[in-house]
Structure 1
């Protein structure tokens, strides 16, 4: 028997470079996406009109986001990277969080805006074997 479409829930449109450029839901609301020449996202425009933007350092798979902001003032986040696997996230309200990753990009430490620290440990196969939350548990 042949397939028969009952209802389209989501439809996607891709550009000539096979990048997702539009996603439309069942009622025709469409999101749009823009990329740089290395396929790294630069903008996402929601159906309601809000837009999100990304600024990057480096290129391609080595790209690291240094700023993520929106078309509304409540969102403007900056990312400060070092070469030891640490990124400090600076929010528009002045708070900061820090994330530390190991050489294989696994999260090993997170320090929240309130100073609470979470730790993670992995075995030789990369499996998460221990976690400690901000309360020490």
Structure 2
């Protein structure tokens, strides 16, 4: 096994964009908390509540983005194949599409096309990155 010691720009930009997304979604939750104030419900459970939607969009990104970032780094170090760049783009785009789908949803009780597309892209790229890491290491 030989390590690719230089990361290409596409995986790095994809990683950076996912990191930015995670922090922007977190800032959005903080914004909602500030709007609601100290006396408002800070832990809503209503799937139509805008703060609940913001919290879940951030939480969902926080569940997937770190693992995707690690997989992209591992794959970029173990392989110089074009598919690693393609998977990095799909992963980042999927996370943005999913977040947009959640934030524009009227309720989280029902799925929408953007949310579903983002979720499927996340699953597909994550699984493909995992398989790539194993195959490149073997």
The bucket for the TM-score relative to the shorter chain is: under 0.3
Determine which structure has more spread, i.e. the larger CA radius of gyration: 1
More helix, by proportion: 2
Which is strand-richer, 1 or 2? 1
TM-score (norm 2): 0.20
